[in-house]
């Protein structure tokens, strides 16, 4: 090979090598570019996925919060228009609605020590002190007075049996435009149905005084329930009226368990802040004693207990009502009690 050919041959090889190198470099550069683009695309996808996951998480959190809120909300039962007992459970006029009590409290842990209601009188026309024996009466919807400075009296009569005076008492109340509460037993309802009806028709409260007039601390929970239910049912059957949900325990005998069981049946227990020995028909104190005793001991928010079997109460009643009105007092409804 001549010197000139060898020179051209070397030049061709070098050019080829250079071309190959250039092609290799271009290929490598292209690959890098594609990888970079792919990385950018992957990063974009990752960001979109992360964003979607975050949105989904927020949505799930909101759904969880809503479900938790719905689960923890106390839902009110709808009023059942077709409830056949709706009329029997209707809140009487004058009531401020159902009180917020848990009517399912178990009595097993409560004291059943038998107690007798009493109070300390005063002659200063200020509220008396009731001996509640350390029991929180409000806890059991039990009352013996109303804490108020208003001149208001709550007049109540106990009716264990009829002794011939109730009609006259109702006449006097009507003439003086005074309404009272009558606590009646089942035997009274059955023997004096006309008077029981008249009480309701003239706007008085007619409430529960039991069937047998027994000492309630000596009764079982089931027996207490029966005493209350049977008296209320007898009143409805005889008069067509619902019994007002107030209860006066016979002879003022009670215990914490009794108060709880009475409340569990939906009743308010009503004690008193004025009373005297008027129930013994053979030892009547006389009309003058009744008048003087009441006028010496009346007080704002007082719950007065009178027995309708008393001749003395009947003879003094008109004078007492007029005198108390003259002192500026009105006669309120037990539905005002809180």
For residue 95, pLDDT over 50 is answered with: no
Residue 18: what pLDDT? 63
Task: Please give the mean pLDDT across all residues of the chain.
Answer: 81
> How far are the Cα atoms of 76, 90, 175, 331 from residue 87, in angstroms, in the given order?
20, 5, 31, 28
Cβ–Cβ < 8 Å for 146, 322:
no
Q: Which residue has the higher pLDDT, 61 or 134?
A: 134
Residue 105: what pLDDT? 77
Q: Which residue has the higher pLDDT, 123 or 230?
A: 230
Task: Give Cα 165 to chain centroid, integer Å.
Answer: 37
Reading the block at residue 35, the tokens are: 């990888």
Cβ–Cβ < 8 Å for 242, 236:
yes
CATH of segment(s) 115-336: 3.20.20.370
Give percent of the chain with pLDDT exceeding 90: 67
Which residues 6+ apart lie within 8 Å of 59 measured at CB?
none
For residue 58, pLDDT over 90 is answered with: no
Catalytic hit among 143, 293, 299, 307: 307
Does 307 participate in catalysis according to the annotation?
yes
- pLDDT tens digits along 191-200: 999 999 999 9
Query: Helix, strand, or coil here: 44?
Result: helix
Reading the block at residue 163, the tokens are: 């002794």
DSSP 145: B
Residue 12: what pLDDT? 59
Q: What is the mean pLDDT of residues 50-63?
A: 39
Does 299 participate in catalysis according to the annotation?
no
- pLDDT tens digits along 13-43: 656 666 565 655 645 445 444 444 444 434 4
Report residue 91's pLDDT band, with 50, 70 and 90 as the boundaries: very low
Strand partners, 79: none
Catalytic hit among 158, 209, 244, 278: 158
């Amino acid at each position: 090979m001549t010197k000139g050919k060898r020179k051209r041959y070397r030049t061709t090889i070098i050019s080829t090598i250079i071309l190959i190198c250039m092609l290799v470099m271009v290929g490598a550069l292209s690959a890098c570019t594609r990888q970079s683009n792919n990385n950018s695309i992957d990063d974009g996808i990752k960001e979109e996925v992360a964003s979607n996951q975050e949105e989904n998480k927020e949505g799930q959190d909101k759904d969880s919060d809503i479900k938790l809120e719905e689960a923890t909300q106390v839902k009110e039962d709808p009023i059942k228009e077709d409830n056949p007992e709706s009329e029997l459970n209707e809140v009487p006029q004058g009531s401020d609605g159902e009180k917020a009590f848990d009517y399912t409290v178990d009595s097993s842990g409560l004291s059943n020590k038998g107690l007798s209601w009493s109070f300390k009188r005063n002659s200063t026309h200020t509220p008396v002190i009731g001996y509640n024996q350390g029991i929180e009466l409000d806890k059991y919807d039990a009352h013996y007075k109303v804490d108020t400075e208003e001149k208001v009296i709550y007049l109540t009569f106990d009716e264990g049996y009829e002794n011939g005076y109730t009609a006259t008492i109702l006449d006097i109340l009507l003439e003086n435009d005074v309404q009272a509460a009558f606590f009646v037993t089942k035997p009274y309802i059955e023997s004096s149905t006309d008077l029981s009806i008249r009480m309701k028709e003239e706007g008085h409260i007619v409430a529960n005084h039991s069937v047998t007039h027994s000492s309630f601390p000596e009764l079982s929970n089931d027996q207490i329930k029966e005493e209350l239910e049977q008296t209320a049912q007898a009143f409805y059957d005889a008069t067509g009226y619902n019994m007002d949900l107030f209860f006066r325990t016979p002879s003022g005998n009670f215990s914490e368990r009794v108060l709880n069981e009475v409340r569990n049946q939906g009743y308010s227990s009503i004690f008193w802040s004025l009373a005297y020995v008027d129930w013994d028909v053979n030892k009547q104190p006389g009309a003058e004693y009744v008048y003087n005793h009441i006028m010496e001991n009346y007080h704002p928010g007082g719950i007065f207990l009178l027995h309708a079997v008393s001749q003395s109460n009947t003879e003094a009643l008109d004078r007492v009502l007029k005198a108390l009105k003259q002192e500026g007092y009105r006669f309120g409804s037990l539905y005002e009690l809180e």
